[in-house]
Structures are given as C-alpha cells and as structure tokens.
Amino acid sequence: MAEIIGVKFRSGGKIYYFSPNDQPLAEGTKVIVETARGLECGEVAMGRKEIPDEQITHQLKQVVREATDADLKRVEDNKKKEESAFGICEKRIAAHNLPMKLVGAECAFDNSKILFSFTSDGRVDFRELVKDLAGIFRTRIELRQIGVRDEAKMLGGLGICGRPFCCSTFIGDFQPVSIKMAKEQGLSLNPVKISGTCGRLMCCLKYEQEAYEDLIKTTPRVGSIVNTPDGKGTIIDVNLISGILKVSLDAFADAAPRSYSKKLVKVIGKGARPVEEPVEEEELPPELLEEEKPKQEKAPEHRQNHGGQNRQNHQNRGQNQNRTENISAQTNNNGSHQNGGNNQRRRNNNNNNRGGGQRAANYRGGNRGSGNPRPGGGRNE
C-alpha cells in the first residue's frame, strides 16, 4: 500500500498522484509539486489515502511544499504573461501565413518555457515561427498540435443540454465512443443530434452504455415470436428502459399492437426476419431433408462431369494446336518451294542478260557502283 494525494493543474483536468511527503494537505490547498516539466503549481483534488501498489503506474514524485503568497503571486503574473504571449503569437502566425489556429498559451511556473497549443487540419512547418518567438520571449518555446476534443476541453462552453461541457468540468480522460452505442440506445443516427460542439460523438453516450448492454441481454429483440396472455404474436417495438414490448397478435392481425411487459411474454421463435445462425439438419422438416438428399448425391456427379469436360477441353486444345502447327509447316514449305522457283527464274533471266550483250552488263555495273540493291538481291545470284 502507498499513501498518495491527488493534484490537478486546471479545472476539470486529469488528477495526478503525488507522494504527500508527510505534509497535512487538505482538498483545495495550492501546492508546488515536481513534474516531468519542472516545478508546477496545482490544487489538491483528492485528500491523503492509501491505494494498492498495482494502481501506481510510475514512480511517485514528491510534493515540494504548500504554495506561499509569493508562489501565488508568481502564478498570477504568469497568467498575465500568457495573455500577452497569446496575442503576440497570433500576430506572428498571421505574418508567417501558417494554416493553424492558436488555442492557448501556458507559461511554466519558473518561466523556463512557454507552451503554445494549436489545431490544424494537417502537419505544419512552424520552425521559423519557433525561432521568431524565441527571439521575442528569450525563453524556450514549445508548440503542440492538439485535436478538436482537446480544444473544446481547453476553451469550454455549453452543450446542447444547456450545461457546461463534460470534458471541461469533470472528465479526466476521453473514452472511445462509437456509433454502435447510439444504435443500441435507440437514438437518432442524425450526426447533428448525436455530435457535440467539437464535431465528434458526444461523450455522454458512454455513460449509460453498460446499462443498455445488460438490458439488451434480457430483452427480446424486434421480430421475435412470443407467447402472450392473449396468444401468439410478433414483437414490433421494444422499449429497453421500461421493458415494454409492442406485440402484433396473430389472432388480431388487423388490430393495433398491444403492449406487454417483458416479464409476461415468452420467446418461442426468431420470427420471419433472416437468421444469421446456421440451421441444423435435425431442425428441418422431413420433406426438406428428402429434397436436399438428391442434391447432395448429384453434387459429386456434377463435379465429375466438370472433370470430364475439362479433360475433353484439354484434348481439343491439343488437337487444335497440332492442326495449327501442321498448317504453319505446310505454309512454310510452300513458301520455300515458291521462293525456290522464283530464284530459279531469276538465275535464268540473269544468264540470258549476261549473254544478251552490253546493255545488261551496264545495268548490273551501274547498280554495283551506286550501291543500290538489285531486285533479286545479292543472295540469289
């Protein structure tokens, strides 16, 4: 067991554990504690108590001291400095024409660092901005990009319920929220009605989700066939909170549905809507089983026929390929014989030209001298 106290650094912020260091500290007391960012001034949100060692995820840091008047005055001065730094940073962002929205500025307790929080649709190259701000404030500058939920948590505001934002008042860490929660709770799926000011799903959808999950396990679903005091019927509407079911009775199909408590009905079937679970053979009627047996017997034969057709197709392809090769071979042979005959005729013509006189010799000589190929080609000579 370890003795701890809980300290928070802003209204509605997360509570961090610290070792009280044997100091009598009550809730609401301002204290100076040592953090990973250096010395910080916070408020005791949870008095001293002992917790199991398993709940401590990191080494506890010490409470340095209870805040003095000088410490509180420094905190007030830092707040004024944060307001001034916020305005200067906004002007420098506009001067550098950066696509970012400044949300807040936070000055460290010992003035060793100024942290600027901003939102942006994508990544921003703010290196030149950091150099510019460091030259103005003469201290370490840190820029941190945050999400829209963190922005709403820092700025605060009023929700559609008329109350202050849950995230800025008492929520420490954000919990995952999904559209499935809205479906299970029977809410409208219109994004305008189930989204908060930040544009994300409202955090309050998570509050009652566990209760709805328990009620869903004990309440019949819409479409189930049930037995009621007035006969058999089908559920057409369910109210999870009150446990009231609206049932359309088979005996009074044209009448308005009647309301029954879920304790007065008994589920006897899933109804006409499609069932995702596989149906077992023993639950099928005998006539359906008789119809399915021939199909199961024909299945191997059907596959065998496919196998025979495949083998026949392969044989046909082989025969077609052989025919194509034979035709190609015949074509090549015919082309060779035809070329041979042409070459023979050219030889005869050339011999006649050689014996015919000076005109044929001059014709050949002119072609050789000019480098132009003869009609017959050099290979046929």
d(CA 230, CA 247): 10
User: What pLDDT, on a 0 to 100 scale, did the predictor assign at position 184?
Assistant: 87
- How confident is the model over 264-307, as pLDDT tens digits? 888 888 754 433 444 333 343 343 333 334 344 444 444 444 44
- Residue in 202, 180, 184 with CA at minimum distance from that of residue 192: 202
- Residue in 380, 303, 304 with CA at minimum distance from that of residue 347: 380
- Residue in 5, 123, 107 with CA at minimum distance from that of residue 56: 5
pTM of the model: 0.58
User: What pLDDT, on a 0 to 100 scale, did the predictor assign at position 53?
Assistant: 77
State phi, psi for 277 to the nearest 5 degrees.
-70, 140
Letter for the amino acid at 253? A
d(CA 222, CA 231): 17
User: What pLDDT, on a 0 to 100 scale, did the predictor assign at position 323?
Assistant: 52
Q: Would you tell me how many other CB atoms lie within 10 Å of the CB of residue 93?
A: 21
User: What pLDDT, on a 0 to 100 scale, did the predictor assign at position 375?
Assistant: 41
User: What pLDDT, on a 0 to 100 scale, did the predictor assign at position 317?
Assistant: 55
User: What pLDDT, on a 0 to 100 scale, did the predictor assign at position 275?
Assistant: 38
Which residues make Cβ contacts (< 8 Å) with residue 11, sequence separation at least 6?
A: 168, 169
User: Looking at the DSSP assignment, which residues form a beta bridge with residue 266?
Assistant: 227
d(CA 225, CA 233): 6
Q: Are the C-beta atoms of 299 and 305 separated by less than 8 Å?
A: no
- Flag residues of the chain having pLDDT under 50: 272-311, 314, 324-344, 348-381
SS (H, E, C) 143-191: EEECCHHHHHHHHCCECCCCCECCCCCCCCCCCCCCHHHHHHCCCCCCH
DSSP-derived letter for residue 197 is T
Q: Would you tell me how many other CB atoms lie within 10 Å of the CB of residue 301?
A: 9
User: What pLDDT, on a 0 to 100 scale, did the predictor assign at position 95?
Assistant: 92
DSSP-derived letter for residue 185 is T
User: What pLDDT, on a 0 to 100 scale, did the predictor assign at position 308?
Assistant: 46
DSSP-derived letter for residue 274 is P
Q: Are the C-beta atoms of 16 and 8 separated by less than 8 Å?
A: yes
User: What pLDDT, on a 0 to 100 scale, did the predictor assign at position 83?
Assistant: 92
Q: Are the C-beta atoms of 380 and 339 separated by less than 8 Å?
A: no
